[in-house]
Amino acid sequence: MSTKLEERQKQRQDEIITAARRCFRASGFHGASMSQIASEAKLSVGQIYRYFSNKDAIIEEMIRRIIDYRIAEMEDKTQTDRMPQILAWRQTLSEDDDALMLEMSAEATRNPLVAAMLVEADARMFANACEHLKKQCPHLSEERIRCCVEITAVMMEGSIYRRLTPQKVSASELEKIYREILNMLLIVN
């Protein structure tokens, strides 16, 4: 019986997160209230509160899932090889995730609680990426690994951000240059 209850609870939680994501995408951080999220999830506000004590708890879970997904995708061995392509063609795992993270980042500039969530999320991503790169490039120093991860993160975030405006150069030319940059980063120094 307990397993069925747990399954039901998990499903409810998923529904609430899905509804919250839709609300944030449609109306922005402040446009989405607990009652709007409840209405979008077709639940009462009271039901929502049984799963999440407030909007911040929903946001925390939403960010946690986005980061979990990004970390899981990093495990894909081909992703490092595909990085120049991902950057040059501005490929993304999820446009919705990117837009939600952008929304949360804008909010983080004035909301210390959301800022702390992003700090924690980035620390987790960063540690995972370092571990991952270390396995692939055991010849690199700890410091070099961290620098590579930081610069790759900068290029990933920058490329995602620039998806908001049209690409102004040939993506295949860009891909070659990104490949040179990434090769350079992974050379023993």
| Residues constituting the chain | 189
Cα 170 from Cα 45, distance rounded (Å):
50
When asked if residue 19 is in the footprint of a second copy (CB under 8 A), the reply is no
Q: Does 137 bind a second copy (CB under 8 A)?
A: no
Q: Which of 74, 99, 137, 186 binds a second copy (CB under 8 A)?
A: 99
**Stretch of 11-19, 33-41, 70-78, 103-111 contacting a second copy, by CB under 8 A:** 103-111
Question: Shortest gap between Cβ of 156 and a second copy (angstroms)?
Answer: 7
CA nearest to 20, candidates 56, 67, 70: 56
Return all residues near 189 (Cβ < 8 A) that are at least 6 apart: 144
Alpha helices, DSSP H, located in the chain: 2-31, 34-40, 45-51, 55-74, 78-88, 95-108, 112-136, 142-162, 171-185
Degrees (nearest 5) of the Cα angle 144, 137, 183?
70
Which residues lie below 8 Å from residue 157, measured CB to CB, with a gap of 6+?
Answer: none
- Specify the stretch interacting with a second copy by CB under 8 A; choose among 6-14, 40-48, 57-65, 169-177: 169-177
Structure tokens at 77: 């061995």
What mask, x for binding a second copy by CB under 8 A, covers residues 149 to 168? -xx-xxxxxxx-xx-xxxxx
| Contact track, a second copy, 34-63, x by CB under 8 A | ------------------------------
Out of 137, 146, 179, 186, name the contact with a second copy by CB under 8 A.
Answer: 146
- Interface residues with a second copy (CB under 8 A)? 25-31, 87, 99, 102-103, 105-110, 115, 118-119, 122-123, 126, 143, 146-147, 150-151, 153-159, 161-162, 164-170, 173-174, 177-178, 180-181, 184-185
